[in-house]
Amino acid sequence: MGRIGFQEILMVFGLALLIFGPSKLPEIGKAMGKGIREFKQATNDITNSVNAEEPPSDKKS
């Protein structure tokens, strides 16, 4: 699978505009941003809890 280029992104935004209309796009963007923010926060919380539970390693070089 290749990378997503400018034309593909433009096509997705165009389709979203046609499907949802210009009045719904800001609401959808806001909801997506909130979802991504919550996902990142949950990921950071899990990472921090795993790192806090690991015992310190006593490796000698």
pLDDT for residue 2 = 73
Residues of the chain with pLDDT under 70: 1, 55-61
Q: What are the CA-CA distances from residue 21 to residues 10, 14, 35, 36, 45 (Å)?
A: 15, 10, 21, 22, 36
pLDDT for residue 53 = 75
pLDDT for residue 42 = 95
Query: Do 25 and 17 meet the contact criterion of CB atoms below 8 Å apart?
Result: yes
42 Cα distance to chain centroid: 11
Query: Do 28 and 16 meet the contact criterion of CB atoms below 8 Å apart?
Result: yes
How many other CB atoms are found less than 10 A from the CB of residue 25?
14
pLDDT for residue 3 = 84
pLDDT for residue 59 = 64
